[in-house]
A and B are shown apart, each in its own frame.
Chain A
Amino acid sequence: MEAARLSQFEIVAREDFSDVTYLLEVRHPLMAKAARPGQFVIVMAHERGERIPLTIADFDRSRGTITLVVQAVGKTTREMQQSCKVGSTLHAMVGPMGIPSPISGAKKVVCVGGGLGVAPIFPQARGFKEAGTYVIGVLGFRTKSLVFWEDKFRACCNELILCTDDGSAGLKGLVTEGIKRAIAKHRDIDEVVAIGPPVMMKGCAEATRPHKIKTLVSLNPIMVDGTGMCGGCRVKIGSEVKFACVDGPDFDGHLVDFDDLMTRLRRYTQVERAAAERWSANCRMKDLADPAAPAVELLELPDPFDDVKGG
């Protein structure tokens, strides 16, 4: 119990993979003990912040930490990119949430990660590997300079297919290309697990549907509490409505209504965009006032639906 109290959600390590992707390692021994592949946390950066869900990309029981890999897409995630330094603390971090991904008895699986899904697919790939499964990794990046964790994946995949949009590393093309290649080579794939932006997961589900390969996807609707209380995260699975935070986040990709998910993700786009613009304007003002302050990178606001691989 002391452990829970002692966790001040301290950031003990940080790594920047690119100008939009960064890793945070947060101390929370109790959570490191409880976390399973496929689960997520909800984080508040500061007292007035939003509650945002982030997948647990790794957990280290001996160090008592969990790892988050964040893509800066809007106000909160860009603000965290600036404020989350080693030694600083998050205001809140609750979890592990969601039903852990079943590390089934499959003999051969394909683990697909694209965009912000590369990190969260890692614990699953490792989980399968530890269970003795033959693991084929398929990772998608826009270009070579954005590639990260290749070595970590190589260590836990029997085969790794790297895809880049521009062909600067690995295969040229989307992750769906990688999946097709894996299916062509291996006739006995039991399962495909895909994490990434909705369009990508939709593409993966379509790629496996003709082959009737079981396909699990991890859905990322907008959430508030993460405890099944608000219904904001509801998704359509076949004819049913499910709450991703307590009934998921993993669902059968062949049943998910991805178009519905993508529409619902745009719920607050206008407000969010305005908030992000206000925020960067503010940062610029501060720079003018305080020349010593580090310059804020003024990134173009990426549309998460343009930025995706696959589909």
Chain B
Amino acid sequence: MAKKKTIRTIPQERTPMREQEPRARAKNFEEVACGYDVGEALREAERCLLCPDQPCVSGCPVGIDIPGFIRKIGENNTRAAYDVIAETNLLAAVCGRVCPQETQCEEVCTVGESLEPVAIGRLERFVGDAAIREGWVNVPHIEANGFRVGIVGSGPAGMACAADMAKAGCEVTVFEAFHQPGGVLKYGIPDFRLPNGVVDAEIENLRRIGVRFECNTLVGRLFTIEQMVDELGFHAVFIGTGAGYPSMLGVPGDSLNGVLSANELLTRCNLMRARDAAFDTPIPLGKRVAVIGAGNTAMDAMRVCLRLGAEKVYCVYRRSRAECPARAEEVHHAEQEGIEFHWLTAPVAILDDGKGGVRGMRCIRMELGAPDDSGRRRPMPVAGSEFDFEADQVVYAIGTNANPIIGQTSRLKLDKRGYIATDESLATSMPGVFAGGDIVTGAATVIEAMGAGRRAARGMKAYLGLRDAARAAGGETLFGIDLGERNFVRLRAAA
């Protein structure tokens, strides 16, 4: 019988994760963080106080039973830990790597009040990696119910919705425009942070529970959302097409060769494997690269350029480090690798080399003024502080707008900014059609997109009149019938 743990009896220091040495890793695409081994995981699990009130769970957008799975790790039963996570999150190996834990689960961890919080993400990754290595997958007993569900987009939102609907017994087909599924996990986030193999393994798990993937399918153009419902026999549709449509700065020099969006750079590198000579897609190789922005996308673009052989990589961001929206760990890693950060600096123009390429950039210094709508202090230019520096490549990572294709080709109601309008249950203006992830909220996080996919799945099940096990257990019932369910007749008709 274990003795009761207290903040004083647990290991005081957070268990460090082994990492590739910065100078070595800045030249390769191998993963930076190597993951915990069993001993390290056991030690870190020991730091969790298994708090009865579980504040960490409310910090996780999908509400993983965090003390539950950490307890199982502590009992050295990784398989059972996986079962706990798999109940709510099918992408443990992904989320453990890319969640901004410091603002989610770990931010509210009790241990974090006096020490470094429990490394929840790293433990989750440990379990996810073990599952992939051992080939664990929880294939529930699925009874087909005759409903067909179409999912548009194979990013985390689409995957999560697909998993839940497949588990509920629906025949699920995921349509993806690219030639490979995975969304941003595949084309955006580079291998040194999230190897494509990990994403493929998670997708394979979806296939094992019966989800079908149809790549090379541009929904809206090959067939419309309306046609999916009216002609192709889908009883419900989920749209998770992500954001996209990168913003351009709108400064002189925007269209010079050598100026490109982070999305283009990352897609060429990650999905098209342009860095490998055996693949045909070309990629620009800047020697001095300036990346504008300081979110996760910007960090990824900078670190990719470094690995492609750039001598100097600058980060140009108009706010200060405190406002930088990237995961803390990525900023730290980028600094270690030698990225030069220029906080409180805004681009004014991109300078032409006279041959259509980039010679440098003109920037202006900023200072922080009064808080703006977002609550962050608004950066204001300092008059007369312009300065030039040399660069031959400029990468924009300043955010994205809504992808227009579905809007152009359907009657779905959009919001003012062009994103798909939904209600609380993520239902759109068309009956049976749901939407979630970046195409509803604008660019967000992997786990939020997954959470949205699952929420939409709940809405979809209610719409189809399917029993939602989780809900039936907790929700109000009358003679065992879930009061949240609608459309009983449809269920019978289809069964």
Contact = CB atoms under 8 A, between A and B. Distances in A.
A15 to B, nearest CB: 25
Interface in A160-191: none
A231 B263 contact: yes
B428 interface: no
Contacts of B264: 224, 230-232
A96 B222 contact: yes
B282 A272 contact: yes
B280 A1 contact: no
Contacts of A272: 282
A227 B281 contact: no
B222 A50 contact: no
Nearest to B250: A241
Interface in B115-153: none
A275 B356 CA distance: 22
B374 interface: no
A224 B255 contact: no
Given A34-B223, A96-B221, A227 B267 contact: no
B245 interface: yes
B398 to A, nearest CB: 11
Contacts, number: 128
Q: Interface residues of A: mostly helix, strand, loop or mixed?
A: mixed
A44 B279 CA distance: 12
A228 B403 contact: yes
Contacts of B214: 1, 4-5
**Most B Cβ at <10 Å: residue of A92, A247, A267:** A267
Contact of B280 (A75, A94, A99): A75
A236 B280 contact: no
B281 A51 contact: yes
A241 B281 contact: no
A286 interface: no
A229 B263 contact: yes
Nearest to B231: A1
A76 B356 CA distance: 25
A49 interface: yes
Interface in A249-283: 260, 263-264, 266-268, 271-272, 275
Nearest to A279: B280
A133 B279 CA distance: 46
Nearest to B188: A229
A231 B259 CA distance: 10
Given A51-B281, A268-B282, A232 B216 contact: no
Contacts of B443: none
A94 B223 contact: no
Interface residues of A, number: 47
B282 A275 contact: yes
Contacts of B263: 229-231
A99 B250 CA distance: 25
Given A99-B408, A241-B255, A48 B261 contact: no
Given A224-B264, A229-B267, A246-B408, A50 B280 contact: yes
A159 interface: no
B222 to A, nearest CB: 5
A304 interface: no
Contacts of B218: 94-97, 226-227
B257 A260 contact: no
A201 B180 CA distance: 35
Nearest to B245: A228
Interface stretch (B9-17, B56-64, B171-179): B171-179
Contacts of B267: 224-225, 229-230
B50 to A, nearest CB: 43
Contact of A92 (B216, B223, B279, B403): B216
Contacts of B272: 50-51, 224
A95 B246 CA distance: 21
B51 interface: no
Contacts of B173: 1
Interface in B265-279: 267-268, 272-273, 278-279
Interface string B211-248: 01011111001110000000011000000001011101
A243 B217 CA distance: 20
Interface in A214-231: 224-231
B249 to A, nearest CB: 10
Contacts of B386: none
A263 B221 contact: no
Contacts of B284: 267-268
Interface of B: 173, 177-179, 212, 214-218, 221-223, 232-233, 242, 244-246, 248, 250, 254-255, 257, 260-261, 263-264, 267-268, 272-273, 278-282, 284, 356, 396, 403-405, 408
Given A48-B278, A50-B281, A232-B260, 11 more contacts: A1-B173, A1-B233, A49-B279, A51-B179, A94-B218, A95-B222, A228-B403, A230-B263, A263-B255, A263-B257, A267-B257
22 contacts: A4-B222, A5-B214, A39-B221, A50-B280, A94-B178, A94-B216, A95-B222, A225-B177, A225-B267, A226-B218, A227-B244, A228-B404, A229-B245, A230-B263, A231-B261, A231-B263, A241-B254, A246-B408, A263-B255, A264-B356, A267-B257, A275-B282
Closest 3 CB pairs of A and B: A230-B264, A229-B244, A263-B356
